[in-house]
Structure 1
Amino acid sequence: MIRHFLHVDFDAQRGLQEQVRETLINAILSGIFPPDAPLPSCRALAAQLNVSRNTTALVFENLVNEGYLLSRPRSGYYLHPDYHQPQVNPTLAAPVCESAAPRWGNRLKIQPSQQESILKPAGWMHYRYPFIYGQPDTHRFPLASWRAAANWLHGGIRDPAWVVDHIDQDVPMLIEQIRTRVLPKRGIVAAPDEILITLGSQNALYLLTRLLMSPDTRVAVENPGFREAINTFMLADTRIVPHAVDEEGLVLTDTPCDYYYVTPGHQVPTGVSMSKARRAQLLDYAARHDAVIVEDDYDSESNFMQNPLPALKASDRSGRVIYVSSLSKALSPGLRLGFMVADPDLIDEARALRRLMYRHPPANIQYQMAHFLAQGYYETHLRRYHDDSARRWEMLASALHTRLPECTLMAGSEHANAFWLRTPEAISTQQLTWRAAHAGVLIEPGARHFLDATPPDNFFRMGFHAINPDAIAPGVDVLRGQLEQM
């Protein structure tokens, strides 16, 4: 018998059968087992992996039932013929192509990788003090209620409507939940044909860019602003027109634009909430100059202010506001589930364009989210999320006030989901970020948010959802130590 040494670095958080099965599947698909020789016996594999014989026997039987293996009495388990790996005949190898590979750099029409963007370390979770924005506390995800929604979806009692291709249609149940449960909280009244489900709000911005923008289009953006939105608009070679931000939000200029992209709930990255007066001014300005407003209400559900102002869309009387938002920001950013509210004619075209890209967001996720909303699980989670966010905000605000008083918070940004801080002019936050990271503190330098030719280098951002609350004050102490050494 040919011996094959298989190794498993067992994870205590996962089942033994699951991990043994995964190891065997990888071995089968990679072709390490010869087709004419038996696999290791249940007893031999159990001894090799230091697991029970029952564990390996159950895995082998399961692989037989699923067609990976054949069981031969008194002989053992063999590969099913479908998984025999034929030997490669060197004489039949593919001919060597003498021409050079395509020069892809010369063929690319756009190069998104060259755009200025906000970079975050892939291993942010390994930092001791991750003051990073946009990542959740994974321990607070409502796993039990999300699993209950999944059990409802996969219960087998109903017709699995999520299995079929919906072509370009969304799940009516989710549209109805958004229309009756989500939008009213923002003061928005919408018909079903005015709502489109998207893969996050970023996907909605891409659809709008492809549909509405060209090199002749002037798009007003906040400065500093949300880089990924600006990068998306630039894919259409639009003329980006930066607008300053003060304690009331975007500052209008005398030069009208075709579109105004704003984040009025909490401006990105400053956290400023656009005032009532500035909102009214923007709506009036857009009507007088035949402009359209793209309202990115990205934190509509994660906004933990006691009485947040209604959305701009709620005051829209002329159909000039396109509203985009997220359903997953406060729940699980990895779900990538958002929506857009606009005139039915625009929604129809966005739906047609979406069909050409990916048809529709996964129907199973739409159904599961719809049930999650309908059962009240989402509201329960949001109440807890808001309470936790308010507590974390107060803890970080207190730590910054007492330990880093020289770093000032922008006026009008209270209770945002991140802190936008200004250091003394002599401090380079690029250098501070580098020094802090080596001390285990992760913050985000602010220069990349600016569109200035020479962006200021004395701003940085701090989130508070990904860090352990008990580590907030100690983390600020470490940051202060690094600041004092500069």
Structure 2
Amino acid sequence: MIRHLMHINFDGQRGLQEQVRESLISAILSGIFSPDTPLPSCRQLAGQLNVSRNTTALVFESLVNEGYLISRPRSGYYLHPDYHNAGQSVPQNAPLCESDAPCWSKRLHITPSQQESILKPAGWMHYRYPFIYGQPDTRQFPLTTWRAAANWLHGGVRDPAWVVDHIDQDVPMLVEQIRTRVLPKRGIVAAPDEILITLGSQNALYLLTRLLMSPRTRVGVENPGFREAINTFLLSDTQIVPHAVDGEGLVPGESPCDYYYVTPGHQVPTGVTMSRARRAQLLSFATRHDAVIIEDDYDSESNFSQNPLPALKASDRSGRVIYVSSLSKALSPGLRLGYMVAAPEIIDEARALRRLVYRHPPTNIQYQMAHFLAQGHYETHLRRYHEDSARRWDTLHNALRAFLPECATFSGSEHANAFWLSTPGQISTRQLTWRAAHAGVLIEPGARHFLDDAPPDNFFRMGFHAINPDAIVPGVKVLRGQMGQLA
């Protein structure tokens, strides 16, 4: 029984001690071991698992030190009394009486799951040609320098301030790095009390929605646009006012809105950069009509254009631009670190609201990112990331010109982090997406980005960071074959 119990399918990417300990903890908490019977000895367990005796001895000693086991000389290791009845504490599922269960559908005030959203297939990373957007090549993550920042954080030579609850405050070191290292590259000057750390830019949009929007609020958005931002605004039953996008960005309408949400660096999803003239026009329009602009500079760090235009907020002279961006887009989206730049009054209220939701982003990650920035590791990673992105962009651009010349790209979208393409009118991109996926090629149909009642079905998006660079050209060729069968 014990031999079967302690079988482990070892993962070569993890430490042996870690996996042996994890299995023993699971067995203890499940109530497998008898209180009166010793656990297998270090030698026996090492033989069963085919690991060194030293490995099992270290694991057993750590479990003794932490109160899971007790050691009896010349007898062996036994369960600590606190865990004699561990298995009995696991609750058993009782049969549910459906007639007594609440009717949750009547209690829900909002149903975010019913919103139109941009979804990626489960297991997209297992496709041979994943031309999807927003996922990096994990092999590029700077693991060595990120680990060095973690070692700095966890070293014993300083006060571990990150273990203390900061209540609603951010790590000053990270705020200062953003203020002095990150924002100046976008032409933005900000004081510390104008910066708030968030769990990504999406979280910043949520905070702004709760603070500023109501059913009476009119929000001008780009069409096509970023669905997740629009879905967030709709949580307050906001009136969404679609605005067309041309080669210069969002086109201001005749009827003014209270807020305008824009992605001027590279518009989502077209990739177009808002022109200087359009920026000036939008700022002037907002001033005349007492409107506020929410600038989502989501690719501020991943933008690999040679000379990108400064942020829209850099030209803001009346405090009408609220700026949100991400620190993790080009590093690892899973880190979920972003920030907001706005007037101190907005930041104060957003900080108070954030406290009610999750208090503050984890301080250990804030400290680690701050050190990563201060040591220049982030800048080094961005330089390599930009060089790699430019090579990938060129490869996909040339492949599209050679094998899919009939798929026009949106004007003004050069060096965006994805290609926004249109097929000849008779080809449905939803059908193309389905056929291509069965051939191992993932593309993103564009219809979901539109707010029209009958959205066009001839647009699609292709990213290039998640795919192996050597697979870009073969993938385009496979897509060419699938498109040819629909023509």
Alignment of 1:356-435 (within 5 A): 356-435=356-435
Corresponding position of 1:167: 167
Corresponding position of 2:460: 460
Corresponding position of 2:118: 118
Q: Residues of 2 paired with 1:41 and 1:411: CA distance?
A: 70
Once the two structures are superposed, residues 441-460 of structure 1 have per-residue CA deviations (whole angstroms, 9 ceiling, x without a partner) of 11111111010101111111
The yes-or-no answer on 1:82 pairing with 2:82 is yes
Q: Residues of 2 paired with 1:4 and 1:408: CA distance?
A: 60
Q: Residues of 2 paired with 1:344 and 1:247: CA distance?
A: 35
Corresponding position of 1:231: 231
Residue 74 of structure 1: CA displacement? 2.5
Q: Residues of 2 paired with 1:94 and 1:218: CA distance?
A: 49
Alignment of 1:182-193 (within 5 A): 182-193=182-193
Asked if 1 retains the 8 angstrom alpha-carbon contact of 2:28 and 2:86, the reply is no
Alignment of 1:40-189 (within 5 A): 40-85=40-85, 100-189=100-189
The yes-or-no answer on 1:215 pairing with 2:215 is yes
Instruction: Return 150-159 or 263-272, whichever deviates more.
Output: 150-159
Asked if 2 retains the 8 angstrom alpha-carbon contact of 1:3 and 1:40, the reply is no
Q: Residues of 2 paired with 1:36 and 1:4: CA distance?
A: 20
Would the alpha carbon gap of residues 87 and 403 (structure 1) be closer, same or farther in structure 2, given more than 3 Å must change? closer
Q: Residues of 1 paired with 2:87 and 2:285: CA distance?
A: 72
Residue 84 of structure 1: CA displacement? 1.8
Instruction: Return 289-298 or 115-124, whichever deviates more.
Output: 115-124
Q: State the secondary structure of the residue aligned to 1:359.
A: coil
The yes-or-no answer on 1:445 pairing with 2:445 is yes
Alignment of 1:2-13 (within 5 A): 5-13=5-13
Once the two structures are superposed, residues 36-89 of structure 1 have per-residue CA deviations (whole angstroms, 9 ceiling, x without a partner) of 222222222222222222222221122112211111222221111112226759
The yes-or-no answer on 1:260 pairing with 2:260 is yes
Asked if 1 retains the 8 angstrom alpha-carbon contact of 2:29 and 2:86, the reply is no
Corresponding position of 1:307: 307
Corresponding position of 1:241: 241
Q: Residues of 2 paired with 1:186 and 1:88: CA distance?
A: 59
Residue 432 of structure 1: CA displacement? 1.0
Q: Residues of 1 paired with 2:93 and 2:452: CA distance?
A: 56
Q: State the secondary structure of the residue aligned to 2:273.
A: coil
What residue identity is the alignment partner of 2:129? Y
Once the two structures are superposed, residues 287-344 of structure 1 have per-residue CA deviations (whole angstroms, 9 ceiling, x without a partner) of 0011000000000010000111111100101110000000110111111000000111
Residue 427 of structure 1: CA displacement? 0.9
Q: Residues of 2 paired with 1:103 and 1:394: CA distance?
A: 54
Corresponding position of 1:297: 297
Asked if 2 retains the 8 angstrom alpha-carbon contact of 1:299 and 1:329, the reply is yes
Q: Residues of 2 paired with 1:207 and 1:235: CA distance?
A: 11
| Structure 2 runs not aligned, ≥5 long | none
Would the alpha carbon gap of residues 95 and 137 (structure 1) be closer, same or farther in structure 2, given more than 3 Å must change? closer
Residue 99 of structure 1: CA displacement? 5.9
Q: Residues of 2 paired with 1:51 and 1:71: CA distance?
A: 21
- Counting aligned pairs with the same residue, the percent is 83
Residue 96 of structure 1: CA displacement? 8.7
| Structure 1 runs not aligned, ≥5 long | none
Asked if 1 retains the 8 angstrom alpha-carbon contact of 2:201 and 2:338, the reply is yes
Asked if 2 retains the 8 angstrom alpha-carbon contact of 1:4 and 1:40, the reply is no
Q: Residues of 1 paired with 2:340 and 2:222: CA distance?
A: 20
Q: State the secondary structure of the residue aligned to 1:485.
A: helix
Instruction: Return 162-171 or 97-106, whichever deviates more.
Output: 97-106
Q: Taking structure 2 as the reference length, what is the TM-score of the superposition?
A: 0.96
Q: State the secondary structure of the residue aligned to 1:314.
A: helix
RMSD after superposition = 1.8
Would the alpha carbon gap of residues 49 and 305 (structure 1) be closer, same or farther in structure 2, given more than 3 Å must change? same
Q: Residues of 2 paired with 1:420 and 1:94: CA distance?
A: 52
Residue 407 of structure 1: CA displacement? 0.9
Once the two structures are superposed, residues 190-241 of structure 1 have per-residue CA deviations (whole angstroms, 9 ceiling, x without a partner) of 1111111100000000000000000000000000000000000000000000
Q: State the secondary structure of the residue aligned to 1:235.
A: helix
Asked if 1 retains the 8 angstrom alpha-carbon contact of 2:8 and 2:23, the reply is yes
What residue identity is the alignment partner of 1:307? N
Q: State the secondary structure of the residue aligned to 1:329.
A: coil
Residue 136 of structure 1: CA displacement? 0.7
Q: Residues of 1 paired with 2:138 and 2:88: CA distance?
A: 47
Q: Residues of 2 paired with 1:171 and 1:50: CA distance?
A: 46
Instruction: Return 280-289 or 475-484, whichever deviates more.
Output: 475-484
Asked if 1 retains the 8 angstrom alpha-carbon contact of 2:258 and 2:292, the reply is yes
Q: State the secondary structure of the residue aligned to 2:5.
A: coil
Corresponding position of 1:334: 334
Asked if 2 retains the 8 angstrom alpha-carbon contact of 1:2 and 1:37, the reply is no
What residue identity is the alignment partner of 1:207? L
Would the alpha carbon gap of residues 119 and 47 (structure 1) be closer, same or farther in structure 2, given more than 3 Å must change? same
Q: Taking structure 1 as the reference length, what is the TM-score of the superposition?
A: 0.97
Q: Residues of 1 paired with 2:305 and 2:96: CA distance?
A: 65
Q: Residues of 2 paired with 1:250 and 1:478: CA distance?
A: 34
Would the alpha carbon gap of residues 33 and 453 (structure 1) be closer, same or farther in structure 2, given more than 3 Å must change? same
Q: Residues of 1 paired with 2:300 and 2:485: CA distance?
A: 39
What residue identity is the alignment partner of 2:197? I
What residue identity is the alignment partner of 2:289? H
Asked if 1 retains the 8 angstrom alpha-carbon contact of 2:29 and 2:87, the reply is no
Once the two structures are superposed, residues 14-55 of structure 1 have per-residue CA deviations (whole angstroms, 9 ceiling, x without a partner) of 221211111111111122212222222222222222222222
Q: Residues of 2 paired with 1:5 and 1:336: CA distance?
A: 38
Q: Residues of 2 paired with 1:475 and 1:94: CA distance?
A: 51
The structure 1 segments of at least 4 consecutive aligned residues displaced by more than 4 Å after TM superposition are 1-4, 86-89, 92-99
Q: Residues of 1 paired with 2:334 and 2:55: CA distance?
A: 33
**Count of residue correspondences:** 484
Q: Residues of 2 paired with 1:310 and 1:54: CA distance?
A: 58
Asked if 2 retains the 8 angstrom alpha-carbon contact of 1:313 and 1:323, the reply is yes
Q: Residues of 2 paired with 1:94 and 1:203: CA distance?
A: 38
Q: Residues of 1 paired with 2:150 and 2:3: CA distance?
A: 42
Q: Residues of 1 paired with 2:58 and 2:327: CA distance?
A: 41
